[in-house]
């Protein structure tokens, strides 16, 4: 049966109630609706982000996620190093191959650059979060710095006993949390000496002005209920990383509820979503797949958009149309045009819950040329401040705490995210102009969208209008 009218519950209780007094907890009342809007400044340098902070803020983003900031490899087999390409002479994923946990690498810049970025972001009320990855080192473990080896009591103590055995079954929790992934040897995150060294790095980032972290490969770091590696005594990394427990007298310098911390816990069988979700916010990777299915099919009934595909409350989910992995690894999402990505973004961002993340594609890229200008450190393409993207961001901010009702036209090609009687986001995901009607909660009257100047009329709860191909419209009660 076709679902033409769906009402989403007006109030969903979060799994973790954040402390109301935390000065840097910039999402104090998620039960009222998530305010956070994240720009993933993928492969931008700290200085590039700083230079574009005004445009980022004006586009309505509240948070910027930087690339990993720690020391990393500059070359791999077949690449002599020193190149600054995303893919070629240089690689975008080099910053995901740590050689030491100290601030600064050739892709993002120096510690001083990070301090300057955080100071600039603060002027605009934007928070900086950093992608962190304690789970593994570079594929070539001989690149690891002597200082790191010395800090953990020798190179052999840096890794799990199982750390050089490739994961064969990602649903086997011992393999998943202690084994080598894609050739990346698995760090013994339960070694107190490593924990102390890593937390020194985290606190150094905080001292620079960083106010949150994205934990890469978080599902590969063991939970207390997981099997324990022979080289470890207990799975206590998360208790230390989140400040619930000190290590050798060192503790997180800002309480966890004063930071925004989320983990890349990609969904699959036997993933302990609830246990991870009780500790940190999580990525809604399956929901991103749903949105891409809908965009590719140009029909809102192509997949189940009204199911978050997750056991964790949507207040604590990071949502996206695409991630850097879906774009880069198998180019799963790279073939979707930017205008269609924008429509998925308008839908996600207009919703009351979820914490939408906008992945910044490379400058000059296209479905035919995924790497575009192919330069590390520069700004991505102009999509992050496209008028439709900015309109969706500002719509979200204006609708905090408003209940959500989602309606479709009869052909399932147009969707409306209605936010109480205050506003509605309309999205056409097809490549055709469509004149249609659909139910809305907007009061009767005439509405003109600010981006396109398109007029819509509402009478007795029915909205009528003509929608341009692949377009979105933010309407507000007069």
Active-site amino acid positions: 216, 264
Query: Got the DSSP string for 56-115?
Result: HHHTT--EEEEPP-EEE-S-BTTB-S----SEESEEGGGGGSEEEEEE-BTTTB-HHHHH
CA distance 142 to 50: 34
With beta carbons less than 8 A apart as the criterion, state whether 451 and 476 touch.
Answer: no
Handedness of CA 164, 169, 170, 175 (dihedral sign): negative
Give the N- to C-terminal CA distance of the chain in Å, as an integer: 36
> 266 is written with which tokens?
């990609």
Query: Got the DSSP string for 223-276?
Result: -TTSPPPTT-S---HHHHHTTSS-BTTB--SS-GGGSEEEE-----TT--HHHH
CA distance 178 to 188: 8
CA distance 21 to 29: 11
CA distance 157 to 152: 6
**Maximum pairwise Cα distance, the chain:** 73
């Amino acid at each position: 049966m076709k679902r033409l009218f769906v009402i989403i519950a007006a109030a969903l209780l979060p799994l973790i109630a954040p402390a109301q007094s935390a000065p840097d907890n910039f999402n104090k009342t998620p039960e009222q609706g998530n305010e956070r809007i994240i720009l993933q400044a993928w492969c931008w340098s700290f200085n590039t982000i700083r230079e574009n902070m005004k445009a980022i803020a004006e586009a309505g983003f509240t948070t910027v996620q930087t690339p990993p900031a720690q020391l990393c490899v500059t070359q791999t087999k077949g690449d002599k190093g020193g190149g600054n390409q995303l893919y070629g002479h240089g690689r975008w994923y080099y910053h995901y191959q740590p050689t030491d946990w100290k601030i600064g690498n050739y892709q993002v810049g120096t510690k001083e650059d990070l301090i300057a970025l955080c100071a600039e972001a603060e002027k605009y009320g934007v928070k900086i979060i950093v992608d962190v990855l304690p789970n593994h080192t570079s594929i070539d473990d001989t690149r690891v710095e002597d200082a790191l080896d010395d800090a953990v009591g020798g190179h052999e103590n840096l890794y799990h006993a199982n750390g050089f055995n490739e994961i064969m079954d990602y649903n086997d929790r011992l393999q998943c949390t202690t084994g080598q992934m894609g050739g990346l040897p698995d760090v013994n995150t339960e070694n107190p000496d490593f924990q102390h060294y890593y937390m020194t790095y985290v606190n150094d980032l905080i001292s620079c002005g960083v106010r949150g972290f994205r934990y890469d490969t978080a599902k590969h770091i063991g939970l207390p209920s997981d099997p324990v590696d022979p080289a470890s005594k207990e799975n206590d990394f998360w208790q230390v990383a989140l400040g619930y427990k000190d290590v050798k007298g060192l503790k997180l310098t800002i309480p966890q509820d004063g930071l925004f911390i989320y983990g890349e816990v990609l969904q699959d069988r036997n993933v302990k979503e609830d246990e991870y979700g009780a500790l940190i916010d999580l990525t809604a990777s399956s929901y991103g797949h749903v949105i891409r299915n809908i965009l590719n099919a140009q029909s809102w009934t192509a997949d189940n958009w009204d199911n978050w595909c997750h056991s964790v409350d949507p207040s604590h989910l990071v949502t996206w149309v695409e991630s850097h992995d879906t774009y880069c690894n198998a180019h799963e999402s790279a073939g979707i045009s930017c205008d269609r990505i924008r429509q998925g973004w308008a839908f996600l961002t207009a919703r009351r819950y979820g914490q939408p993340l906008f992945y910044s594609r490379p400058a000059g890229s296209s479905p035919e040329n995924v790497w575009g200008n192919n330069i590390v450190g520069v700004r991505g393409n102009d999509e992050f401040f496209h008028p439709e993207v900015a309109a969706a961001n500002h719509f979200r901010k204006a609708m905090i705490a408003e209940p959500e009702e989602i309606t479709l036209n009869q052909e399932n090609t147009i969707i409306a995210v209605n936010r109480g009687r205050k506003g509605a986001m309309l999205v056409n995901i097809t490549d055709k102009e469509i004149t249609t009607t659909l139910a809305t909660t907007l009061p009767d009257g005439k509405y003109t969208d600010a981006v396109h100047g398109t007029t819509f009329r509402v009478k007795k709860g029915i909205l009528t209008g003509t929608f341009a191909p692949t377009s979105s419209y933010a309407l507000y009660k007069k």
